[in-house]
Amino acid sequence: MLPHPAPLTLNASLTGDLALYIHWPFCVSKCPYCDFNSHVRETIDADAWEAALLADMAHEAALTSGRRLSSIFFGGGTPSLMPPKIAAALIVAAEQHWGFAPDIEITLEANPSSVESARFADLAAAGVNRVSLGLQALDDDALRFLGRAHGVAEGLAALDSAQHVFDRVTFDLIYARPDQSEADWQAELSRALRFGTGHLSLYQLTIEPGTRFESMVRRGDFVPADPDHCATLYEVTQALTDAAAMPAYEISNYARMGQESRHNLTYWRYRDYVGIGPGAHGRRNAQATQRHKKPENWMSAVARNGHGLKSEDALAPEERATEALLMGLRLREGVDLDGIAAISGIAPAALVDRQAIERLSDLGFVQASGSHLQVLPAGMLLLDAILPQVVAL
């Protein structure tokens, strides 16, 4: 288990280390389960995109000067489609703007194709030291169902390449697929755990609004897994990862000690981060930022204004407190209510419903000790139902 989070303070939230998120919105094709801001384009102007991202970054840097970066995350879309020279230019510029923590984590999401894995050495030379591979399944039929362009053999070759090139490697799997049995998932996850990575992201298949899968379910093309079966597969996941010394530190993320994603912990611990690129969100200086979502609209905004911002809104105390609770209670370590009170100005007693906490504690779902509150493993299965009961705001 992770140590309890250090208490947040208003001063620390405005002056501490930052995380930087860079969104690359392009994909070869749109996966049927994906509701992320991803787009398919036949061609792009690489030089124009490099210049626009650098301009968007410079705008954020001017508003957060004097602060150091603890992590950079290239997300998408498919950032491994980004020309490595753009990644290199962005990393160099980020260090010039902010400076880097000595142990900075620089992550890039990648598809496990042979074309993209051929770029791994150049991306590592650019400064990327952690890669997140979208394997998604270790079964060819499942990969076809998920709309993935790679097969198992190609994916595992890319994983092997990544483990030889990058300091840290993680990969994603999607489970609770239609007709996936408990034995199927146990065998697949057991195999995945033998690959020796220090981190895994394991997501239950969710039918998101507006996706092709939603249309297919509505037409009766397939039936999603039953919630009780999903709960069984979740329990299998916890048992196998615990036995492999890779326990959950967040509801869908598992890591060996010290291998947790530092960038994602910034989000879940409600530290400041800046986001650039189409559709990117940010939280900095008590403000919520959002970029224009469509790539062409974002590019036009950068050309017009010098940045891609669509909105920049001050966060009310209640919003900051609610976000900190909702994000922090996803973590096994939980939250420090005194720290959330310090950044929001709302008294700890007003943040949560103590009667609900006592009731849920008696059921073994949550645990409270002084100002520390956490959702226990049994409660993580019911997190969506627990949070509205606990959060009083």
Residue pLDDT, tens place only, 266-313:
999 999 999 999 999 999 999 999 999 999 999 999 999 999 999 999
Residue 30's pLDDT band (cuts 50, 70, 90): confident
User: Residue 367 pLDDT > 60, yes or no?
Assistant: yes
Q: How confident is the model at residue 5 (pLDDT cuts 50, 70, 90)?
A: low
- Tell me, what's the pLDDT at 14? 57
Residue 15 has pLDDT above 70, yes or no: no
Beta bridge partners of 288: 283, 313
What pLDDT is recorded for position 12?
46
End-to-end CA distance of the chain: give it in Å, rounded: 28
Given this model, what pLDDT does residue 10 score?
Answer: 46
Q: What is the pLDDT of residue 242?
A: 97
Assign 14 to helix, strand or coil.
helix
What does the alpha-carbon distance between residue 188 and residue 175 come to, in Å, rounded to a whole number? 9
154 pLDDT exceeds 80? yes
CA distances from 137 to 142, 168, 173, 187 (A): 6, 20, 5, 12
Spatial CA neighbour of 51 closest among 90, 77, 78, 99 = 90
pLDDT confidence bin for 6, thresholds 50/70/90: low
- The pLDDT of 29-40, averaged and rounded, is 86
Domains and CATH numbers, the chain: 10-268 (3.20.20.70), 331-390 (no CATH)
Q: Give the whole-angstrom CA distance, residue 223 versus residue 219.
A: 10
Binning pLDDT at 50, 70 and 90, where does residue 13 land?
Answer: low
Q: What is the mean pLDDT of residues 175-187?
A: 97
pLDDT at 42: 82
Per-residue pLDDT band for 16 (boundaries 50, 70, 90) equals: confident
Q: For the residues 94-122, what does the mean pLDDT come to?
A: 93
Cβ-count burial 214-224 (b if 16+ within 10 Å, e if not): eeeeeeeeeeb
* 232: exposed, middle or buried (Cβ count in 10 Å: 0-12, 13-18, 19+): middle
Whether 1 shows a pLDDT value over 90: the answer reads no
Q: How confident is the model at residue 11 (pLDDT cuts 50, 70, 90)?
A: very low
Flag whether pLDDT at 162 surpasses 60: yes
Report the distance separating Cα 390 and Cα 376, nearest Å: 13
**b/e code 131-157 from CB counts within 10 Å (16+ = b):** bbbbbbbbbeebbebbebebebebbbb
Residue 233, phi then psi, degrees to nearest 5: -65, -35
pLDDT on residue 28: 85
Q: Which residues fall within 8 angstroms of residue 338, CB to CB, at 6 or more apart?
A: 7, 348, 371
* pLDDT single digits (tens) 187-235: 999 999 999 999 999 999 999 999 999 999 999 999 999 999 999 999 9
Q: What are phi and psi of 218, to 5 degrees?
A: -65, -35
Segment 329-353, tens digit of pLDDT: 999 999 999 999 999 999 999 999 9
CA distance 123 to 117: 10
Say if residues 50 and 234 touch (Cβ distance below 8 Å). no
Percent of the chain with pLDDT over 90: 88
CA 49, CA 299: separation in Å to the nearest integer?
8
Take residue 3 and report the two structure tokens written for it: 């140590």
User: Mean of the per-residue pLDDT values for the chain?
Assistant: 94
Is the pLDDT reported for residue 8 higher than 90? no
Residue 9 has pLDDT above 60, yes or no: no
